Amino acid sequence: MLSGLITSLFGGISVGSVLLIAALGLAIVFGLMGVINMAHGELMMMGAYTTFLVQNVCKGTFFADLYIFPALILAFLVAGLLGFLLELTVVRHLYGRPLETLLATWGVSLILQQFVRSVSWQFMIGIGIFAALYFGGNQLLSIDKSAKFDGKKLLLTMIAGLAALVICNVLGDIFKLAITQPWFGAQNVDVTAPSWLLGGLPIGNDQLPATRIFIIALTICCVTGVYWFLNKSMWGLRIRAVTQNREMSSCLGIPTERVDALTFALGSGLAGIAGVAVSLLGSVGPNTGTNYIIDTFMVVVVGGVGKLVGSIVAALVLGITSYLIGSDSFAPLLSWAPPLAGFFTFFSNSSMAKVMVFSAIFVFLQARPAGLFPQKGRTVEN
Amino acid sequence: MERILNIQELTVSFDGFKALNDLNFSLDRGELRVVIGPNGAGKTTFLDVITGKVKPTKGYVQFKDRSLRNFSEDQISRLGIGRKFQTPRIYQKLTVRQNIELAGNPHKSLFGTLLGKKSPTNQRQVADLLGVVGLEPKADILAELLSHGEKQRLEIGMLVAQSPELLLVDEPVAGLTDEETAEVGQLLLNLSADHSIIVIEHDMEFVRQLSAGLGSQPENRVTVLHEGHVLCEGSMAEVQKDPQVIAVYLGSEEQH
Amino acid sequence: MLTRILRQPVWREVIMIGGVVLLLATAIPQLLYAIGQGFRVGLLGRFMALGIAALGIDLIWGYTGMLSLGHGIFFALGGYALAMFLLLQLPAGKLPEFFSLNGVTELPWFWQPFSSLPFTLIAVILIPSLVAAIVGYFVFRNRIRGVYFSILTQAALIVFYNLFNSQQKWINGTNGLKTDSAMFFGKVVSSIEVQWLFYLLSLFGLVGAYGICRWLTGGRFGRLLIAIRDDEPRVRFSGYDPTGFKVFVLAVSAALAGIAGALFTAQSGIITPNAMDVSFSIEMIIWVAVGGRGTLVGAIIGALLVNFGKSVLSEQFPAFWLFFQGGMFLIVVAAVPDGLVGWAGRTWREWEQRSSRKSATYPQIDLDENLHREKTQTEKLHNSGK
Sequence spans of domains, chain A: 2-119+182-367
**DSSP string over C177-242:** EE-TTSEETTEETTSHHHHHHHHHHHHHHHHHHHHHHHHHHHSHHHHHHHHHHH-HHHHHHTT--H
Whether residues C144 and C223 fall in one domain: yes
Do the domain assignments include residue C163?
yes
CA distance C342 to C337: 8
Rounded-to-integer distance, Cα A14 and Cα A20, Å: 10
Q: Please indicate, yes or no, if residue C93 is contained in any of the structural domains.
A: yes
- Looking at the partner chain, which of B89, B108, B162 has a beta carbon nearest the beta carbon of C231? B89
Q: What is the CATH number of the domain that holds B165?
A: 3.40.50.300
What is the per-residue pLDDT for C346?
A: 87
> Count of domains in chain B?
1
Do the chains contact at C237 and B91, CB–CB below 8 Å? no
Q: What is the mean pLDDT of residues C70-81?
A: 96
B contact test, residue of C237, C250, C295, C364 with most B CBs within 10 A? C237
Does residue C314 fall inside a structural domain?
no
In chain C, % helix, strand, coil (3-state, to 5) comes to 80, 0, 20
Q: How many domains does chain C have?
A: 2
Residue ranges of B 4-43 with Cβ closer than 8 A to chain C: none
Residues A175/A180/A183/A184 CA torsion (nearest 10 deg):
-150
Domain hosting residue B163, numbered range: 3-254
10 Å CB burial of residue C299 (0-12, 13-18, 19+) is buried
Tell me how far the alpha carbon of residue B232 is from its chain's centroid: 20
The answer to whether A153 and A143 have CB atoms below 8 angstroms apart is yes
By C-alpha distance, which of B198, B199, B214, B94 is closest to B154?
A: B94
The DSSP H or E segment spanning A52 is helix A40-58
Residue B124, pLDDT above cutoff 50: yes
Name the residue among B53, B45, B85, B78 with its Cα closest to residue B63: B78
Query: Exposure string (b/e) for B191-217, b if CB count within 10 Å is 16 or more?
Result: bbeebbbbbbbbbeebbebbbeeeeee
CA gap B161, B82 in Å, rounded: 9
Cα C134 off chain centre by:
20
Residues 6+ apart with CB under 8 A from C35: none
Query: Is C187 in the same domain as C262?
Result: yes
Out of C249, C283, C317, a domain closes at C283
Chain B residue with Cα closest to A382: B53
Residue A181 backbone phi and psi in degrees, to 5: -60, 120
C166 in a structural domain? yes
Of the given ranges (A329-333, B141-145, B238-242, C252-256), which has the lowest mean pLDDT? A329-333
Domain of residue C273 covers: 41-283
Contacts of A304 in chain C (CB under 8 A): none
Q: Which residues of C touch B80 (CB under 8 A)?
A: none
Contact by Cβ (8 Å): C222, C216: yes
Q: How many residues does chain B have?
A: 256
Q: Please check whether residues C30 and C45 belong to one and the same domain.
A: no
pLDDT confidence of B202, banded at 50, 70, 90? confident
pLDDT of residue A272: 95
B17 — phi, psi (to 5°)?
A: -80, 125
Give a yes or no: residue C160 inside a domain: yes
Gap from A377 CA to chain B (nearest CA, Å): 6
Burial B11-30 (b: 16+ CB within 10 A, else e): bbeeeeebbbbebebebeee
User: What is the 3-state secondary structure of C271-303?
Assistant: ECHHHHCHHHHHHHHHHHHHHCCCCHHHHHHHH
Q: With contact defined as beta carbons under 8 Å apart, do C184 and C86 qualify?
A: yes
Q: Among C283, C313, C335, where does a domain finish?
A: C283
Range A340-359 average pLDDT: 84
Query: Which chain A residues touch B19 with a CB distance below 8 Å?
Result: 378
Give the pLDDT band of residue C362 (cuts 50, 70, 90).
very low
pTM value is 0.89
The verdict on residue C370 lying in a domain is no
Percent of chain C with pLDDT over 90: 55
User: What is the reported pLDDT for A145?
Assistant: 57
Please tell me which residue of chain C has the smallest CA distance to A382: C233
First-to-last alpha carbon distance for chain A, in angstroms, is 53
Task: Identify from A99, A127, A150, A287 which residue to disrupt to test chain C contact, counting C C-beta atoms within 10 A and taking the largest count.
Answer: A99
- Say which DSSP state B136 is in: G
Amino acid (one-letter) located at C108: P
Whether residue C364 is predicted with pLDDT greater than 70 in this model: the reply is no
Cross-chain Cβ contact C155/A118 below 8 Å: no
Which residues of B are less than 8 Å from A377 in CB distance?
14-15
- How many residues can be counted in chain A? 382
* Res B37: pLDDT: 84
Shared domain check, C72 and C8: no
Question: How far are the Cα atoms of A321, A343, A356, C354 from residue A346, in angstroms, in the given order?
Answer: 15, 5, 10, 69
For an interface test with C, give the residue of B110, B117, B162, B167 to mutate (most C CBs within 10 A): B110
Q: Measured at the alpha carbon of residue B155, what is the angle toward residues B171 and B168, in degrees to the nearest 5?
A: 50
**Domain-located, residue C383:** no
Cα(C44)–Cα(C51) distance, integer angstroms: 10
Distance from CA of B8 to the nearest CA of A (A): 23
Instruction: Verify that C242 and C120 share a domain, yes or no.
Output: yes
